[in-house]
Amino acid sequence: MAGGYLSIVLHAHLPYVRSAGRRPDASEFWFHERARECYLPLIRILDGLQRDGVRTRITLSLSPTLIGILRDPLIQERLAEHVDRMVELSARELNRTALMPELRNVAGTYHLRLLQVHNALVQRCGGNLLRAFAEMESRGQLELITCPASHAFLPGLVAMQPQAARCQVRLGLDAFERAFGHRPAGFWLPECAYSPELDDILGREGVGYIIVDGRALEHASPPAFHGVHAPVYCPSGVAAFGRDRTGAWLMGCDAFGHPTDPAYRDNSTDIADELPSDYLRPFMPDAGVRVGTGIRYQRIGGENGESRSYARIEALDRAAQHAERWMRERMGRAQSAAGTMDRPPVFVSAYDMHVFGYRWFEGIEFLDYLLRKTHFDQQVLETITPAEYLGRHRCNQMTVPAASSWGKRGYFEEWVDQETVWVYHHLSRAARVMQHLTEVVAADHAGGNGKGRADDSGGNGDDLSSRALRAAGRQLVLAQSGDWLTMMRSPEQKSYGRERLEQHLSNFARVAWQIGAKRINAVEIEALEREWPIFEDIRTDAYR
Candidate list 276, 418, 453, 530; residue touching another protein; CB under 8 A: 418
Binding status of residue 429 toward another protein by CB under 8 A: yes
What is the nearest approach in angstroms of another protein to the Cβ of residue 440?
Answer: 8
Among 85, 96, 183, 375, interactor with another protein by CB under 8 A: 183
* C-beta closer to another protein: residue 33 or 382: 382
User: Whose CA is closest to 534, among 98, 123, 76, 149?
Assistant: 149
Name which position in 43, 207, 284, 350 contacts another protein (CB under 8 A).
207
CA 359, 364, 369, 375 dihedral sign is positive
Signed CA dihedral, 395, 400, 405, 409: sign only: negative
Q: How far is the CB of 424 from another protein (least distance, A)?
A: 5
Q: Is 471 in the site for another protein (CB under 8 A)?
A: no
Q: Is 222 in the site for another protein (CB under 8 A)?
A: yes
Q: Does 432 interact with another protein (rule: CB under 8 A)?
A: yes
Q: How far is the CB of 52 from another protein (least distance, A)?
A: 24
Torsion of CA 98, 118, 367, 303, to 10 degrees: 30
Query: How does DSSP classify residue 12?
Result: E
Grouping H, G, I as helix, E, B as strand and the rest as coil, residue 156 is: helix
Q: Give the dihedral of Cα atoms 56, 62, 68, 69; nearest 10 deg.
A: -70
Output 87-94 pairs: Cβ under 8 A, ≥24 positions apart: 87/111, 87/114, 87/115, 87/118, 88/282, 88/283, 89/283, 89/293, 89/295, 90/114, 90/295, 92/279, 93/271, 93/295
The answer to whether the beta carbons of residues 285 and 25 sit under 8 Å apart is yes
Cα dist. 263→41, 461, 525 in Å? 21, 58, 53
Q: Does 246 bind another protein (CB under 8 A)?
A: no
Question: Does 1 interact with another protein (rule: CB under 8 A)?
Answer: no
What one-character-per-residue DSSP string does 263-304 give? Answer: TSBPTT--HHHHS-HHHHGGGS-STT-----S---BBS---S
Q: Of 36-44, 83-91, 279-287, 420-428, which part binds another protein (CB under 8 A)?
A: 420-428
Residue from 2, 115, 387, 464 touching another protein (CB under 8 A): that is 387
Residue 430 as a binder of another protein (CB under 8 A): the answer is yes
Query: Given candidates 85, 178, 308, 498, which one binds another protein under the rule CB under 8 A?
Result: 498
Which among 5-13, 125-133, 301-309, 393-401 is the span making contact with another protein, rule CB under 8 A?
A: 393-401
Q: Which of 88, 273, 417, 531 binds another protein (CB under 8 A)?
A: 417
Q: Which stretch binds another protein (CB under 8 A): 103-111, 121-129, 316-324, 427-435?
A: 427-435
Q: Maximum Cα–Cα distance for the chain, whole Å?
A: 81
Nearest distance in Å: CB 505, another protein: 6
- Residue 45 or 193 having the CB closest to another protein: 193
Nearest-approach distance from CB 339 to another protein, in angstroms: 19
CB of 460 to another protein, least distance (A): 21
Instruction: Give the one residue of 48, 127, 332, 391 binding another protein; rule: CB under 8 A.
Output: 391
If one counts every other C-beta atom within 10 angstroms of the C-beta of residue 30, the result is 18
Nearer to another protein among residue 369 and residue 412 (C-beta): 412
Q: Are 183 and 218 in contact (CB under 8 A)?
A: no
CA distances from 521 to 53, 339, 512, 532 (A): 58, 68, 11, 17
450 sits near another protein (criterion: CB under 8 A): no
State the Cα–Cα distance between residues 286 and 432, nearest whole angstrom. 40
Per CB under 8 A, 426 contacts another protein: yes
Residues 139-168 that bind another protein (CB under 8 A): 155-156, 159-161
Q: Is 27 helix (H, G, I), strand (E, B) or coil?
A: helix
Minimum distance of another protein from residue 223's CB (angstroms):
5
Q: Is 200 in the site for another protein (CB under 8 A)?
A: no
Give the shortest CB-477-to-another protein separation in angstroms: 16
Q: Are 144 and 184 in contact (CB under 8 A)?
A: yes
Whether 156 contacts 415, CB under 8 Å? yes
Number of residues that bind another protein (CB under 8 A): 67
224's CB contacts (< 8 A; 6+ apart) are 217, 218, 230, 232, 242, 397, 399
Question: In whole angstroms, how far apart are CA 501 and each of 24, 113, 346, 464, 498?
Answer: 20, 37, 39, 25, 5
By CB under 8 A, residue 485 contacts another protein: no
Residue numbers at the binding site for another protein (CB under 8 A):
155-156, 159-161, 183, 185, 195, 206-208, 218-223, 225, 233, 237-239, 387-388, 390-391, 394-399, 402-404, 409, 411-413, 416-422, 424-426, 428-430, 432-433, 436-437, 440, 498, 502, 505-506, 509, 512-513, 515-517
